[in-house]
Amino acid sequence: AWSVLGFRPYVANEWFVDVNEGDFVRNRFYGGVTRPIAGPLSIDVYYLWQTSKGKTTWEDIDAAGVKVKLAFD
C-alpha cells in the first residue's frame, strides 16, 4: 500500500560516545516518510527524539517537522 501511494518510510538511530570519557552521551532516533511530488521535488514528514546526558540527568528533545527537498542530479 505504501508504494502504491508513493510513500517511502524510513527509521534510523544514532548513538554518540565521548571517546575521551568512554561514556555513552547521546541517543538520537528518527523516522518519517518521504513522498515524491513532481520530478526532483519531494516532501518529507518526520519525528525526532533525542536524549542527551546532562550533568545530573538525561535531557529529552522531541521534534516533528516537514521539509521540502529539491534534488539536483
Closest by CA position to 51, among listed 39, 38, 61, 64: 61
Cα–Cα distance measured from residue 30 to residue 46, given in angstroms and rounded to the nearest whole number: 7
- pLDDT band, very low/low/confident/very high, at 10 (cuts 50, 70, 90): very high
Torsion sign across C-alpha atoms 22, 26, 27, 31:
negative
Phi, psi of 2 (to 5 degrees): -60, -45
Q: What is the DSSP letter of 58?
A: E
Specify the pLDDT at position 39: 87
pLDDT tens across 11-55, in order? 999 999 999 988 889 999 999 999 999 889 999 999 999 999 988
Specify the pLDDT at position 1: 53
Round to the nearest angstrom and report the end-to-end CA distance of the chain: 28
